[in-house]
Structure 1
Amino acid sequence: MRGAWLIWTLMFAGPACAQTPAPPAASPLDNYAEAAATTIIAEQTCPGIQVKAGQLTTLRLATKVAAAQEAILQEKLRTRATQVRQQLAADGREAWCAQALAAFGPQGSVAKGILATGAPIR
């Protein structure tokens, strides 16, 4: 009975369902590189947005970057910064800044509180 259910599921789901592997999970280094590149470029590009350096530092410490991983992280940061700049150019400053703030601002969907607006951050 179980085999029939599997055949029925694959038949209706199509071959793409059976052949499409799940995307690999992002590593902590990838996540940190995304946060650092996006927030630093946002501070440089978006009016009134500032990086809360303490929050970014806390995220880096939570990533637990080993000394042997520093070169890998630097390459990930360069690659991610290039991707972020390309996305900024494609989306336009206003839309991209809104997305960056939504992802990393006070209500951040990716990481809360790395970006802030308004008063100077110390």
Structure 2
Amino acid sequence: MRGTRLFGVVLTLALAGQASAQAPAPPPVAPSAPASPLSPLDNYAAAASTTIIAEQACPGVQVRAGQLTTLRLAARVNPGQEAVLEEKLRTRASQVRQQLAADGREAWCAEALAAFGPQGTIAKGVLATGAPIR
């Protein structure tokens, strides 16, 4: 499935696990990823872009802001990196939107929930369905 490419990159997310602020382990290199692992900023940009676009595109899906903030804290984004992070977020959001268009909303949303939903394979609980999230 084409959507697995999107999540192949995100699978290298060093911030995986329980979306905790503990020091992340070195990310594994996905088969289609470059030889060098992605930076924590790249990983956070991928997770943030995917989850924010999922909230916009997927019916009934909401981002749990606290969980996303935990991922940002784990990435150790400092004030001097804000401009770089903004560019990474723009670039990654464009790639995510292209993947969404290529895969179709239903398939893409299912993969986003599988990666970031309550049972998330990348970061659990960043996306929620059902009751409104506060």
Same fold? TM cut 0.5: yes
* Matching residue of 1:23: 35
Cα displacement string for residues 50-102 of structure 1 (whole angstroms, at most 9, x for unaligned residues)? 00001001111111111111111001000000000000000000000001001
- Which residue of the partner structure matches residue 40 of structure 1? 52
- The runs of 5 or more residues in structure 2 that have no matched partner are 1-33
- Whose helix proportion is higher, 1 or 2? 1
Deviations 1:14-70 (A, max 9, x none): xxxxxxxx6211111011001100000000010011000010011111111111111
Comparing both chains, which one has the higher relative contact order based on Cα–Cα distances under 8 Å and sequence gaps of 6 or more?
2
TM superposition score normalised by structure 1: 0.80
Distance across 1 between alignment mates of 2:43 and 2:133? 23
- 1: CA distance, partners of 2:64 / 2:78: 23
Which residue of structure 2 aligns with residue 61 of structure 1? Answer: 73
Length-normalised TM-score, structure 2: 0.73
Tell me how many residue pairs correspond in the alignment: 101
Q: Runs ≥4 in structure 1, deviation > 2 angstroms?
A: none
Match for 2:126: what amino acid? I
Matched, 1:82 2:109: no
1:118 equivalent in alignment to 2:124? no
Which of structures 1 and 2 has the bigger CA Rg? 1
Task: Give the root-mean-square deviation of aligned CA atoms.
Answer: 0.9
